[in-house]
Amino acid sequence: MENRTLRQVYGGRYRPSTFLMLTLDSYGRVDADSAALDPDAYDYRRAARDAIPFPRLVDRFWQNTRRCVGWDVQYFGTVEPQKRGAPHLHAAIRGTIPRTELRALVAATYHQVWWPPHDELRYTGDRLPRWDDQVKGFVDPDTREPLPTWEQATDPDVLPEPAHTVTFGAQVHVKGILGGTEEAGRRIGYLTKSIGQAAGLDDTTSARKREHVRRLTAELAVTPCSPRCAIWLLYGIQPKGARLSMTSGRCKGKAHRPEHLGIAGRRVLVSRKWSNKSLTDHRAERAEFVRQLLARAGIQPAHAVDDGPFEWERTRPGDTDVPPRPVLLLHAIHQRQRWRADYDAALLTAGEPPHQNRSATESEAA
């Protein structure tokens, strides 16, 4: 693979980029409100099982893309739920890739979920596996026999095929764009509007759409989200790292919540070399921005130290001159409040009101 992150220049000065949109497969026909026309025929189980490993499918796509084109492809992408509830990806790619190659890559990309079979619930209602202190694991409520551990259930000898295979859908949107153009601005806006977008319902949602989301959420409630998910107990399998505090069939993972609809991972996906800067570089830039803002406003930071130099040393257990931990915590909180006050004062001096609403969307902040 070539050690570069950019495609070639066209015409001596043009270096276009690519906007890409990928979706999951169809699970049944939907109406204008993106609700299932025939809920009984809509494949809610496959929709739930495709949504949970969607991030891994996206990772595999970028791996395949880099191997195919032969250079270190960089991207900025966002994952958001479609109106039908399925996740899909919007991504800006630095450089151009032929449409035929991208479509071939999408068609060839898949992810296999090598988990135990989980098609039929073994335990429901009040009949649930129980923790046994003697065996240090969950047992059958009737026979008191220990349930298979995760290692036993995923042994290659007893797991001949993957429990599920997820692929992208047929809908692939590819658009070439040039930086600085009106089209580039629209595409950037399309990417950023997806950040923080929830899959929740509002007062205008139709009854059919509410029923559609309810059935998808119900399927996600019995679909394991990871090897450590407590829902595995409903299928007679002990999750990885099973412990007493687990409750059979109840997982706190985001994938099972109605506002996420299976999207449990990060919503913003940025490749490591997208900005060609490390985390240390970004922290230094943010700190320098604040310093310049305070300097323009003529504000001396309240936390500045002017009477140094000092000699720093680590504290040791038993040091008599170290304040108690509650005092240290209160001091840290007070210091943060002073920093925020200095920053807000600098914004007011610069003519910009302090940001009171830091939510990604106004509706979520309400």
| Per-residue pLDDT tens digits for 209-258 | 999 999 999 999 999 999 999 999 999 999 999 999 999 999 999 999 98
Tell me if 95 sits within 8 A of 6, measured CB to CB: yes
d(CA 60, CA 255): 20
| Per-residue pLDDT tens digits for 267-294 | 888 888 877 777 788 788 888 888 898 8
d(CA 257, CA 261): 6
Query: Which is it for strands 137-139 and 17-24: parallel, antiparallel or unpaired?
Result: unpaired
**In the structure, what pLDDT confidence band is assigned to residue 362 with cuts at 50, 70 and 90?**
very low
**Burial class for 167, CB neighbours closer than 10 Å (0-12, 13-18, 19+):** middle
d(CA 255, CA 327): 39
At residue 139, does pLDDT exceed 60? yes
What's the predicted TM-score (pTM) here? 0.75
Query: What's phi and psi for 230, nearest 5 deg?
Result: -70, -10
